Structure 1
Amino acid sequence: MEWLNAHTFLRVPARDWAAATLTVIAAYAVLSSVLRLICNRLDARARRTGHRFDILVTAVLRDTHPLFIALAALLAGSYFIDLPTRIANKLDHIWFVIIGFQIALWLNRGVKLWARDRLSTQTHATRNPVITSMTAWVLRFALWSMLLLAILANVGVNITAFVASLGVGGVAVALAVQSILSDLFASLAIGLDKPFEIGDFIVFESIAGTVQNVGLKTTRIRSLSGEEIIASNTALLKSTIHNYKRMSERRIVFTFGVTYDARAAQLQKIPDIVRRAVEAAGNTRFDRAHFKEFGENALNFEVVYFVTDPDFNLYMDIQQRINLTILEGLENLGTSFALPTRTIQLVRRDGEPVGPEELADRKSTGSSQRVNARASG
């Protein structure tokens, strides 16, 4: 004790250095032990309850930077040393900066873990990372901005003019990157309104394909031919989008015609043949079948039915079965599908129609005249 009282280092008694050193060691040990105890308790509770919040808090606290504990211990020990007044008055500001940075690191880590957990737990049908990514980015930007402003205000800097200059600079930057911000807000609109999601089959303008990824600026679509199409989010929202993934059923309308030599009794039976064909195809709901009109070359029928599954290949299989059944039914009925035909009637100069015998005579006469002309030539 006499030696500690008699000797000094840097004008500070050795006993003060010893007290400060012991305080630093004790503070580091206590802070580390308390943090470890809290993490163990939270970890045990998280395993017992399985709550995501407990797991998140445990992961955040375990990510505490060791440098924070060391700096906190050094600051605690510095109170046992007679520091210059100028430095001693700054200790409170240093405490604020250290604690503020550690809290910011905790919150930043928490936002990262929340975003990763949310993206990993979303199913393929509902996964849309736009809102999660943008929310995480905005939270982290606001967090570090508030920390920076708080530190500047704590050390005595007038942040009013600084905030005003940031506002003016923000307006200038917004005007310079107007197109990028347009796509950014368009991605936010896609995430909130959800006109389509990852895995949906969409058609807009001349592009058709499956949505692979929705980004902050662009959306990637895998087309039917295999290539990846990259479209800006703004262009997507300006177009009319057909989302076939959300279609619960298909409404099918098709027509066919039979020949004009069909009798009325046969025409009356055709709607029943069509109805039985649709109902027997499976996964269908029959709506109507009618003799619609007298066409130019056929007696036209119109059929409407619903396929209760949106799968396109299934619809084509059903339509094929219906077509074959209708064809078989018309064959059994004694009629057939109409072919494009045209009847031409020839008349004389006096308006009387030309008969078949006269037409045959004219054909034979014309043929003999062509033969004589070739012989004379």
Structure 2
Amino acid sequence: MEPLLPYSHFENWVMALGIAVGSTALMYFVRCFTIRKLHQRAERSPGRLDEFAGKMLGATYVSFLLCIGVYLGSLFLVLPANYKIIVSRIAVAALVLQLVVWADAGLRAWRTQFMATHDDGARKASSLIMFFMLRLVTWTVAFLMMLDNFGFNITTLVASLGIGGIAVALATQNILGDLFASLSIMIDKPFEIGDFIIVGDALGAVEYIGLKTTRLRGLGGEQIVFSNGDLLKSRIHNHKRMQSRRVAFILRVAYGTPDAEMARIPQLVRAIVSARDDVDFERAHFFRYGEWSLDFEVVYHFKSPDYILHMDAQHAILLEVYRCFERERIQFAHPLSVIRVAEPSDPAGGWLPHTLARAGKTAPVADSTPARH
């Protein structure tokens, strides 16, 4: 902006001083008014955004407002080039410093809110490390920007920091890998304390999430320890976040069961399962000729992820199926190995035990031993 009069005139200095004082007072008034409005909104409807904005604006320094006011007032004066450069650099430095103070205030407010809503000590420790690193990066970037603003060549410094950072990262890559994996667990939350998870052939409840390791309490009471980096590279099954359980079981019916009863079995099972309010029946089908049984597959969905309740429901369903088969005289299959001795008069193709029974004959059984399930 072109100055109105030479800087040596008294009127120009008075105008510049008035602009500096007036703009500073106006910015201070806007700051106070905005903070008061944000606090009122936060009291009416509590929200993190209003609280964060209020705390950030509360960290606005009057010296920053004064530097901006002086810079605006200097625009109305004719100053030597070196003086203009000094004023502008001071104003830019004040702006950078105020921006980093706002960012730091926002990070500290976020940390306070996070600590108030989380009781897990391990998660708090991880969050403290994360917030410290974020603040360190913020202040480092601001420091480099201020050096560059005052004319220092920061290229060599940045290159040195980069080389040093690479050397430190290579020397501590395992530790840093587990540390960043811990931060990833904290932010992404694939599991939390108390969740029951399965990782490979290990399963148990999450007992501790630390900076380097995560520990599970196995079903046998033993403690299973994973490094955070290895844990995130594995496939994790989180059973606590299960919405429902899909349950499938097989009913083995004896060979020789009449086809009319075979056709009724799916309807009988459907009626038993559908009678419960906590399950959704899916299907029941005769799906396989087994070595010693006729196999029916039954599938239903239990509406709760609770394992104990699921087992209670399955216990009741299987018991009711057993009672129903007793009433209908449907025989469960038993694993048997039957050996027959054929006679020359037997027709080719063999025989069935229930066919011989209807004919009044007895099948010659040489051996009957139970087989494995």
Please indicate the TM-score interval, normalised by the length of the shorter structure.
Answer: 0.5 to 0.7
Change (3 A) 1:286 1:52: closer
Alignment map for 1:243-262 (pairs within 5 Å): 243-262=238-257
Residue 316 in structure 1 maps to residue 311 in structure 2: yes
Question: Which residue of structure 2 lines up, in the alignment, with residue 177 of structure 1?
Answer: 172
Alignment partner of 2:295: what SS?
strand
Q: Pick from 330, 334, 345 the counterpart of residue 335 of structure 1.
A: 330
- Post-superposition offset of 1:298: 2.6
For residue 178 of structure 1, report the CA deviation from its aligned partner.
Answer: 1.6
User: Higher helix fraction: Structure 1 or Structure 2?
Assistant: 1
Name the counterpart of 1:78: none
Structure 2 unaligned blocks of 5 or more: 1-23, 68-85, 347-360, 366-373
Q: Distance in 2 between matches of 1:291 and 1:154?
A: 80
Matched-pair contact (CA < 8 Å) for 1:43–1:55: no
Match of 2:113 among 106, 113, 117: 117
Shift of 1:218: 3.3
Report the AA paired with residue 107 of structure 2.
V
Shift of 1:253: 1.4
Verify: 1:280 aligned to 2:272, yes or no: no
Aligned residues: 297
Deviations 1:53-73 (A, max 9, x none): 4534554677799xx99xx9x
Alpha-carbon distance in 2 for matches of 1:213, 1:109: 30
Distance change >3 Å, CA 288–CA 100, structure 1 → 2: closer
Equivalent-residue separation in structure 1 for 2:50 and 2:325 (angstroms): 71
Q: Match for 2:144 among 126, 144, 149? A: 149
* Correspondence 1:218 to 2:210: no
What is the CA distance between 1:280 and its match in structure 2? 1.6
Question: Cα–Cα, structure 1 residues 154 and 257, in superposed 2: closer, same or farther, change >3 Å?
Answer: closer
Would the alpha carbon gap of residues 143 and 193 (structure 1) be closer, same or farther in structure 2, given more than 3 Å must change? closer
- Paired residues of 2:35 and 2:58 also in contact (CA < 8 A): no
Q: CA deviation digits over 1:282-335, x for unaligned, max 9?
A: 322222222333333333222122222222222211111111111111111123
Counterpart amino acid of residue 163 in structure 2: V
Amino acid at match of 1:108: D
- Residue 290 of structure 1 is matched in structure 2 by 285
- The change in CA–CA distance for 1:97 and 1:323 in structure 2 (over 3 A counts) is same
Task: Give the structure 2 partner of residue 108 of structure 1.
Answer: 104
Q: Which protein is bigger by CA-based radius of gyration?
A: 1
**2:10 alignment partner in structure 1:** none
Match of 2:37 in 1: 45
Q: Which runs of 5+ in 1 are unaligned?
A: 1-30, 73-89, 360-377
Shift of 1:49: 0.8
> 2:236 is matched with which residue: 236, 241, 254?
241
SS at match of 1:281: coil
Aligned equivalent of 1:367: none
Give, in angstroms, the shift of residue 249 of structure 1. 2.2
Question: Identity of counterpart residues, as a percentage?
Answer: 39
Task: Look up the match of 1:201.
Answer: 196
Once residues 57 and 297 of structure 1 are traced to their aligned partners in structure 2, the CA distance between those partners, rounded to angstroms, is 74
Asked whether the 8 Å contact 1:39–1:58 carries over to 2, the reply is: no
- Maintained 8 Å contact 2:266/2:285: yes
RMSD over aligned Cα, in angstroms?
4.7
Contact 1:129 1:214 in 2 (8 A): no
